[in-house]
Every structure is written in C-alpha cells, then in structure tokens.
C-alpha cells in the first residue's frame, strides 16, 4: 500500500507528501475496515436470524455499533504502520481511543447479556416471583457493572495524559492522604454501591413487588443504584432512596407470594340473623372469578352497645384482584341486606322518656310570702 501511495504523492513537497500520504493511508484503512465490518455483521445477522434463541440477535445488535468504530481504529492503526506521519498522529490519540473502544465493547457485552436474561425472565406470567427476583438482581448488578466499567475506562483515558499520570503517581506515593481524600469524596457513591450489593443479595424488594411505604400503596417500577421508583396506584411516582428499604420498616405484600387475604367489615343490628348473610356472601364470592378458592368465611368478631361487627373474609391471587373483590362483596352484600333483610340494618334504640309530673303545691309567689311572714313573727 505504501508503494501505491508514493506513486501519487511522489511529486509533492516533503511536508505535503507526508500529509497526503498519511491522509490517503487513513482513508484506505477506514474504507477497508468498514467493508470488513459490513460483510462480517451481515453474516452474523443471518446466522442470528436462523437461530431459535433471541440472545444472539441481541448480542449482534448491541455489538454492531462499537465494533464498527473498533474496526475503523484497527484500520487506521494498520495504515499507520505504513506511514510515519500517520504513525505519529496515531500514537498521540491511541491512548484515548483504545481504552474508550475497549470499554464500549465490554459495556455492550454486559448489556447484551442483561437484555438476553431479561427476555428469558418474563414477568407478565401469572406466577412471576422467580422472574421478578432475577430481573431485580440483573438490574442492580447491571448498573453497578456499568459504573465500574465507565470508571475504569475514564481512568485509563486520563492516565494517557502525562500530567494526569504524574499526579496519579504522586498520589500513590502519599497513599494515606489520598485514601482519606478519596474516601471522603466518594462516600456517597461507595454507600450507594454497597446498598446496591445489599439490595441484590438480601432482596428486600423485587421489580413489580407491591409495597406500602410512607403510607402509599404502589408497585416497584424500577430499582436504580441510589434510589427506587415506586409507581403509585394513581400513576404518581414515588422516588425512595435505596437505604430506606434497608434501614426502615415497610410492607411488602408480594415477598413470598402474590396471594393475599382480605376482609370486609359490616356493622349490623343486634337482632340481625347472621346465617342468611353468610349464605348470601358464600353465593356471591363463589360466583366471582376474582376469588381464588383458597378461603372464605363469615364471623361475628366484635360487638358494641348498638351494633355487631360481622367480618367477611376472602382471598385472591393478587392485590389488585383482592381490592376489586372486596369492593364488590361490600357493595353486593349490603345491597342484598337492604333488599331482603332491612331489619338487619342498624337502628337507634333510644326510647322516649315520659314527662315528669310535679306534685301540686303553692306557687312560687305564695311560698315567698309565707317565708316573709314567718320571719316577721319570729322577730
């Protein structure tokens, strides 16, 4: 390639010849690299489409872009071996370009692995506990791995600068002071990383878990390195620091299973017959498709001087079905009571009091006059 380039640049001045030679060599190297990349990835896409697995499709898609620039860098590096001018320029930028491309490729491999595992763990199925646990671990470890890869890549790129490299050596010489400074500056980041590892290992929550935190009911929508996004039932998002789920108490309704037990309280009159209410509740709950057939029952759980407390107990496969089932049972049973047993509704039992009859006697004026006569007689 060098002889072919010299054939076109041999009549130019020395500096122009070197510049033109380097430019032509770089262009030729880039063109060859792009052709090689296009041919290679066309073959890889055909192979991936012929496979039954989606993992290879995701891998080829993720690697296509970083691999293109890596091929270009390799083409320029090969062309730089043929011309001294291009070699000098390449030596100055290769310390930045190669770590950047290497980190980009490693990051693409990590994300392709995470995406492939996400596809294999579908959370739209009915029994999705294991899939949600795996997705949670993948999400947390993916973000931690991304942070580590980016940190190392930037560090390698900065160490390509002679001044920064010298500063690094100086800091290494004074390791004690550097450790204190770095530890103080990186405390929030390190704390977030440690919290992320704890969340991945201990699993207090998983993606799509139903939780109650700060008095709000919602689902875990996403788990980030430093915070968790909780989707509230009314479409709001609650941003909660990760440490909250490790240090404070909260309710997780789907920690072991999505199945839940719920109750509805009715307050009826003391004279209410509970047996017909029990029979009607059993009929209604058994006809509702949201009842999962695990348990149902009616019990008198308490009483006051005016009412009895009747508890309707029912179960459902998840919190959403349970909420709707409770509302339906509350409405349906009360409607039946109003229609068929109105006497069971609470009634006030305050009885009217008969007027008090006063004994006949002298009027107030007469009593005052009599009291005055009595005093004058004594005097």
pLDDT tens-digit map of 43-62: 888 888 887 777 778 888 88
What pLDDT band is residue 196 in, cutting at 50, 70 and 90? low
What pLDDT band is residue 209 in, cutting at 50, 70 and 90? confident
Q: Centre a 10 Å sphere on the Cβ of residue 19 and count the other Cβ atoms it contains.
A: 16
Does residue 11 sit in the same domain as residue 137? yes
Q: Which residues pair with 231 in a beta bridge?
A: 219, 237
pLDDT tens-digit map of 253-298: 877 777 788 899 999 998 889 999 999 999 999 999 999 888 899 9
**Residue 356 domain-assigned (yes or no):** no
Does residue 320 sit in the same domain as residue 248? no
Residue scoring higher pLDDT (354 or 51) = 51
How far, in Å, CA of 18 to CA of 237, rounded? 61
Q: What is the CATH number of the domain that holds 274?
A: 3.30.70.100
pLDDT tens-digit map of 226-261: 788 999 988 899 998 888 888 888 888 877 777 788
- Residues 308 and 271: beta-carbon distance below 8 Å: no
How far, in Å, CA of 65 to CA of 107, rounded? 12
* Most distant pair of Cα atoms in the chain: their distance: 158
- Residues 245 and 199: beta-carbon distance below 8 Å: yes
pLDDT reported for residue 80? 75
pLDDT reported for residue 277? 93
Does residue 94 sit in the same domain as residue 126? yes
Closest CA to 347 of 303, 301, 306, 305: 306
Q: Which residues pair with 303 in a beta bridge?
A: 308
Listed in sequence order, the residues at least 6 apart from 178 whose beta carbon sits closer than 8 Å to its beta carbon are 171, 172
Does residue 192 sit in the same domain as residue 89? yes
Does residue 213 sit in the same domain as residue 267? no
How far, in Å, CA of 257 to CA of 261, rounded? 11
C-alpha distance across the termini of the chain, in Å: 151
**Residue 353 domain-assigned (yes or no):** no
Does residue 123 sit in the same domain as residue 182? yes
Rounded average pLDDT over 158-165:
68
Confidence check: pLDDT of 371 > 70: no
How far, in Å, CA of 264 to CA of 146, rounded? 48
What pLDDT band is residue 310 in, cutting at 50, 70 and 90? very high
Q: Output phi, psi for 33, to 5 deg.
A: -65, -40
Residue scoring higher pLDDT (67 or 90) = 67
Rounded average pLDDT over 354-375:
54
Does residue 25 sit in the same domain as residue 55? yes
Alpha helices, DSSP H only, in the chain?
A: 2-9, 14-49, 55-80, 84-120, 129-158, 162-173, 175-185, 187-202, 242-247, 274-287, 319-340, 364-378
pLDDT reported for residue 172? 47
**Residue 378 domain-assigned (yes or no):** no
Does residue 114 sit in the same domain as residue 189? yes
The parent domain of residue 131 ranges over 2-201
How far, in Å, CA of 374 to CA of 354, rounded? 37
Domain count, the chain: 3
How far, in Å, CA of 66 to CA of 102, rounded? 9
DSSP-based three-state secondary structure for 151: helix
Confidence check: pLDDT of 122 > 80: no
**Residue 88 domain-assigned (yes or no):** yes
pLDDT tens-digit map of 167-189: 555 544 454 444 555 555 556 65
pLDDT reported for residue 141? 78
Model confidence pTM above 0.85: no
Q: What is the CATH number of the domain that holds 237?
A: 2.30.30.60
**Residue 243 domain-assigned (yes or no):** yes
How far, in Å, CA of 156 to CA of 95, rounded? 8
pLDDT reported for residue 361? 53
Listed in sequence order, the residues at least 6 apart from 79 whose beta carbon sits closer than 8 Å to its beta carbon are 1, 25, 26, 28, 29, 86
pLDDT reported for residue 331? 94
């Amino acid at each position: 390639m060098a002889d072919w380039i010299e054939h076109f640049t041999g009549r130019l001045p020395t500096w122009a010849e070197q510049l033109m030679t380097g430019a032509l060599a770089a262009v030729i190297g880039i063109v060859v690299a792009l052709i090689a990349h296009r041919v290679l990835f066309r073959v890889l896409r055909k192979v991936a489409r012929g496979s039954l697995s989606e993992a290879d499709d995701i891998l080829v898609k993720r690697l296509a872009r970083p691999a293109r620039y890596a091929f270009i860098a390799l083409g320029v590096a090969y062309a730089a071996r043929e011309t001294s001018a291009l070699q000098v320029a390449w030596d100055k930028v290769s310390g930045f370009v190669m770590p950047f491309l290497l980190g980009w490729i490693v990051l693409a491999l990590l994300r392709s692995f995470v995406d492939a595992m996400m596809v294999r763990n579908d959370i739209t199925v009915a029994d999705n506990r294991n899939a949600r646990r795996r997705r949670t671990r993948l999400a947390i470890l993916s973000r931690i791995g991304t942070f580590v890869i980016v940190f190392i890549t930037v560090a390698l790129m900065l160490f390509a600068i002679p001044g920064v490299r010298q500063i690094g050596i100086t800091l290494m010489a004074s390791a004690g002071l550097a450790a204190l400074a770095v530890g103080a500056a990186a405390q929030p980041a390190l704390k977030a990383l440690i919290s992320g590892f704890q969340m991945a290992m201990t699993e207090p929550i998983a993606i799509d878990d139903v939780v109650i935190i700060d008095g709000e009911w919602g689902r875990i929508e996403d788990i980030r390195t430093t915070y968790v996004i909780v989707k509230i039932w009314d479409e709001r998002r609650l941003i909660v620091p990760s440490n909250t789920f490790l240090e404070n108490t909260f309710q997780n309704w789907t920690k072991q299973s999505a199945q839940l037990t719920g109750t509805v309280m009715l307050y009826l009159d003391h004279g209410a017959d509970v047996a017909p209410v029990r029979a009607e509740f059993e009929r209604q709950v058994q006809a509702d498709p949201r009842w999962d057939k695990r348990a149902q029952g009616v019990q008198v759980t308490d009483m006051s001087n005016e009412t009895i407390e009747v508890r309707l107990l029912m179960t459902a496969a998840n919190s959403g079905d349970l909420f709707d089932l409770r509302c339906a049972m509350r409405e349906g049973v009360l409607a039946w009571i109003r229609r068929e047993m109105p006497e069971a509704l609470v009634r006030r039992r305050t009885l009217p009091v008969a007027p008090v009859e006063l004994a006949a006697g002298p009027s107030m004026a007469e009593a005052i006059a009599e009291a005055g006569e009595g005093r004058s007689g004594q005097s």
